[in-house]
A and B are shown apart, each in its own frame.
Chain A
């Protein structure tokens, strides 16, 4: 279908990368495919890092998104353990840190995000960790024996998932959150209150509305100094205060960026030969009629498909309803849609039995739903939201 000398280069060994490869080959792409990744690993799943991988329920084999044989079958040139330094758009080449140049016909940026650093004194101490990679988890676990004290800064998904995984292993867990409730950025008060309860019931020392002044080390012991002067002792701390999209490659190449790399409904940047997909992309949502950037596997996978098809000349508008999940203890949260800008909240089900839903409406139309241990209602809500909102469009 295309000249076999053509090369699709993907930067970022990720969920999106695996999907781009698979979709390109299924769509008949006969040219080359090159995957550049800064870790040594083949693409692996990150969501289990704070859950099943942390608790030891699965090993690295199970983290792999595809079998190693998949990359042979699809004839992918693997350039792993290599960081892309810049994109030379004039010559259509990716320049690696070691100076190697890789020429592309089409380039897919799947650079993802990185952890936001905590800007307080002492945060550069070796006992302060971030959780993004397999190596990060292995490192954290090696420093924490059962009975150890883990301090988590930030009660978002990552922080709470790690709290649940760690406490199961007999680790003492303290969570500090600056906001007055957990998951404040992504959900409503009833859901926050529910998660606060289940973590406290499990024994997590959850402290809300707490300021963190600095980290100090005294006589080989680590402490977090809170705004009121209290010292909280810990062995290892994990910072989970959000992520920053990796836009620098695109930005330095002169592509528009604003909370992510700006793309259109086909995941194309302003350069028709460069696409950006997944967590690093800022894209138009047809459903919500605004630009959004999502941190989610389903979005990365679906955008990857859109990009690969577009490369093969099949332009299909990307229009997936955002959805998310989080597993903590015996509780599965599935979220359909985006709840921001709702004007009505409806709680149904049995909160005490850990089985309920919270629906969000705007102008009488359902815009989102949080399903706690209610997978069937989550499935139905996905359809309902699409129906309700598409009437709007």
Chain B
């Protein structure tokens, strides 16, 4: 279990408890948060779950694979700590993770 903070583009913050094994994307859609769409259900095909990871946390995550890296190149506003949240699996180590949701998904 990890508490994850999702920050909307407007600045609104949501703290959500997400169970281990779920993805950061699932944590958002199960709790009906705006800003993460997850159209393809989490198979890294649509890039509608783009998040900007807090830079202190970014280095602690497993590196994105080639498909994810390419998808991230093509999102409207990529940042150095951008990730697709369907590719981040939650574990106890991610307790306290903070992600921002970009304007394009609102």
Residues of A within 8 A of B (CB): 15, 22, 25-26, 45, 47-48, 52, 61, 65-67, 69-70, 73-74, 297-298, 301-302, 323, 325, 327, 332, 334, 373-380
Residue in B22, B29, B45 whose beta carbon sits within 8 Å of that of A332 in the complex? B45
CB–CB A325/B30 < 8 A: no
Shortest Cβ distance from residue B101 to the other chain A in the assembled complex, whole angstroms: 15
A375-B39 CB under 8 A given contacts A70-B30, A73-B32: no
B15 within 8 A of A: no
Q: Is the CB of B74 within 8 A of A376?
A: yes
Contact call B41/A47, Cβ cutoff below 8 A: yes
Contact status A374-B29, CB under 8 Å: no
Most buried by A among B34, B40, B47, B71: B40
Q: Are B74 and A297 in contact (CB under 8 A)?
A: no
Partner of A379, one of B22, B26, B29, B71: B71
Q: Please determine whether A298 and B39 come into contact, CB atoms closer than 8 angstroms.
A: yes
| Shortest CB distance B75–A (Å) | 7
The A-contacting residues of B in range 49-86, CB under 8 angstroms, are 67, 70-71, 73-75
Q: For chain B, what secondary structure do more than half of its interface residues adopt (helix, strand, loop), or is it mixed?
A: loop
Q: When chains A and B are docked, how far (Å) is the Cα of A297 from the Cα of B67?
A: 20
A298:B40 contact, CB within 8 angstroms: yes
**Pair count A-B, CB < 8 A:** 63
What is the chain B residue whose CB lies nearest that of A51?
Answer: B43
Smallest CB-CB separation from A62: which chain B residue?
Answer: B21
- Point out the residues of chain A lying under 8 angstroms from B67, CB to CB: 332, 373, 375
Closest to B71 in A: A375
* Option from B29, B43, B47, B73 in Cβ contact (under 8 Å) with A47: B43
CA distance A70 to B30 in the complex (A): 6
Contacts of A66 in B (CB 8 A): 29-30
Closest to A44 in B: B41
Instruction: Name the residue of chain B whose CB is nearest to the CB of A320.
Output: B39
Q: Per-residue CB proximity of B24-42 to A under 8 Å, as 1/0? A: 0010011110100001110
A-B contact pairs, 21 of them (CB 8 A): A22-B32, A26-B34, A48-B43, A52-B43, A65-B41, A67-B30, A70-B31, A74-B32, A297-B40, A298-B46, A323-B46, A325-B40, A327-B43, A332-B45, A332-B67, A375-B67, A376-B73, A379-B71, A379-B74, A379-B75, A380-B74
